[in-house]
Structure 1
Amino acid sequence: MTDPIALVAGATGPLGRRMVDHLSELGLRVAALSRSGDHPPGAQWSTACDITDAAAVDTALTDLEARLGAVDVLVNAAHPRAPGATAVADLGADELAAQLAAVAGHLTLCRRVLPGMRAAGSGRIVYLAGALIARPIAGHAAYGTAKAAATTLTRYLAVEEGRYGITANIVAPGRVVDPDDPVDTDPGWVAAAEALTARMSLPDFPTPGDVAATVGTLVTNPAVTGQTIWVTGGEPIT
């Protein structure tokens, strides 16, 4: 029996790279999608792909299936970077639409891998959201709204696809600090970090490795679906 295939979208960001490594360490054959097309060391296949382009997603997945086989695990960490803090009163429709395009991209990825998962009688879908879906920080409404919409879509997948042995869950990190990258010194983020630290029960922010380990747990557990797992250092989310 061959090792399962995990597709990581957004595979070259700090979280995506660590998820590629961790899933590879778990014994999965990992494929990587990213806008840049860079090849993470732990991946067996990679290509450049904008998930908001449905034709490009289909082309990429057709090539992946021909080379490795059908996708057993989809981990979606792909999302456009928020351009900066914008209050709702100043938010333009174009800026909101740019963020919401990632929701359609998540739908495209899920629809593309579901037939193979259904045929196999099992599958895992994990969406990387964030604490902003439930704990707003002023200025990030467009990003938080898009992440919340994709989270809801993922929960519906859990309800509808469970009969095929497919699970769908959400991992929602708070502020994540990569020990290998410089800490963001933007005054707004510094102030937000101080406020979050005061709410946390643990002394340190989660790392990309902590997030990847949570994803790995959901990928290997067939009995958990429709859940949002908060990786926030103990910051209470209600």
Structure 2
Amino acid sequence: MRLQDRGAIVTGAASGIGQATAQLFAAEGAKVLAVDLDQEKVVAAHKGNERITPLGQDVSAADAPERIIKAALEACGRLDILMNNAGVSLGAPFEEFTDEAWDRTMAVNVTAHFKLARAAVPHLKASPAGRIINVASVMAEGTDYGLAAYCASKAGVAGLTRNMALELGRHGITSNYILPGAIRTGMTVNFKDEKIADIWARKSPLKRLGEPIDIARGALFLASDEGGFVTGHGLNVDGGLMLRV
């Protein structure tokens, strides 16, 4: 019960990393507001879990920060942990990348993180263990074909988080980011092809793909008292994928 009686927000919580993290946080004693674009999916993902309250919300909408914080306080009574996990990956060759795809990627992957964290800060200041956890990617430090916006956005998440750590530390708030590697989630649809999944699994020294729970466990460490003296840090949870880059 490492998060006993704490209040948490987890975005992108209808599947994958967000779903696993919301459920792990709840199992460790937190009350959780699980946010996702699709109301039906986020309700179904956490059906029967009394410690998790689902909320359908586009995190990039203008009123999202106000709505999410209000819902979190109503559901949890307090706010101690914010995990910005919602993200999109829109791929295309650089010369063909549209303004719309670029803007959407930045709006969800970076700007929404900034705005929700900013709205959460007054409440995190009141917490004895305020935590901000942003989900970046190993692509924040690497790159691949067709991922110009995704790589730029995840590098932005890393830079944003380090700055928040610097400025918010005096209030006792830690800010860290996680760099997942090849994780079997809905975003990585190609992993449904076993040949592609095997190629990525063999790139890791551990010889397997990551699972959402692997990332959730890293988030739990950063959210708990054990991670209380860690801030401004990028936690690689990639099975050693980037060792040979």
Deviation at 1:200, TM superposition (A): 2.1
Matches within 5 A, 1:113-124: 113-124=120-131
- SS at 2:241 equivalent: coil
Q: Is 1:164 aligned to residue 164 of structure 2?
A: no
Q: Tell me, in whole angstroms, the C-alpha distance in 1 between the residues paired with 2:152 and 2:93.
A: 13
| Counterpart residue number, 1:4 | 6
Q: Is 1:145 aligned to residue 124 of structure 2?
A: no
Query: Structure 2, unaligned stretches of length 5 or more?
Result: none
Contact 2:33 2:71 in 1 (8 A): no
Deviations 1:37-79 (A, max 9, x none): 2222444322111111131331232133134223100111101
Query: Which residue type is aligned with residue 223 of structure 2?
Result: V
- Normalised by the length of structure 1, the TM-score is 0.88
Deviation at 1:214, TM superposition (A): 0.6
Deviations 1:155-202 (A, max 9, x none): 111111011110011111111126xx9933298xx2x862x4454211
Deviation at 1:89, TM superposition (A): 2.1
Please identify runs of 4+ aligned residues in structure 1 that moved more than 4 A. none
Q: Tell me, in whole angstroms, the C-alpha distance in 1 between the residues paired with 2:201 and 2:34.
A: 33
| Counterpart residue number, 1:213 | 217
Q: Tell me, in whole angstroms, the C-alpha distance in 1 between the residues paired with 2:150 and 2:22.
A: 24
- Normalised by the length of structure 2, the TM-score is 0.85
Q: Tell me, in whole angstroms, the C-alpha distance in 2 between the residues paired with 1:107 and 1:206.
A: 27
| Counterpart residue number, 1:57 | 65
User: Structure 1 residues 193, 129: CA separation in 2 closer, same or farther (over 3 Å shift)?
Assistant: farther
Matches within 5 A, 1:152-191: 152-177=159-184, 183-185=191-193, 190=196
* Aligned with residue 92 of structure 1, among 90, 98, 107: 98
| Counterpart residue number, 1:33 | 35
| Counterpart residue number, 2:25 | 23
Q: Is 1:225 aligned to residue 231 of structure 2?
A: yes
- SS at 2:14 equivalent: coil
User: Structure 1 residues 63, 123: CA separation in 2 closer, same or farther (over 3 Å shift)?
Assistant: same
- SS at 1:54 equivalent: coil
Query: Structure 1, unaligned stretches of length 5 or more?
Result: none
| Counterpart residue number, 2:79 | 71
Contact 2:7 2:72 in 1 (8 A): no
Contact 1:70 1:113 in 2 (8 A): no
More displaced 10-residue stretch of structure 1: 66-75 or 15-24: 66-75
| Counterpart residue number, 1:13 | 15
* Aligned with residue 200 of structure 1, among 200, 204, 213: 204
User: Structure 1 residues 164, 197: CA separation in 2 closer, same or farther (over 3 Å shift)?
Assistant: same
Q: Tell me, in whole angstroms, the C-alpha distance in 1 between the residues paired with 2:138 and 2:220.
A: 19
| Counterpart residue number, 1:134 | 141
The percent of aligned pairs where both chains have the same amino acid is 26
Deviation at 1:146, TM superposition (A): 1.1
Query: Which residue type is aligned with residue 68 of structure 2?
Result: A
Query: Which residue type is aligned with residue 13 of structure 1?
Result: S
- The size of the alignment, in residue pairs, is 229
Q: Tell me, in whole angstroms, the C-alpha distance in 2 between the residues paired with 1:63 and 1:177.
A: 30
Deviation at 1:105, TM superposition (A): 0.7
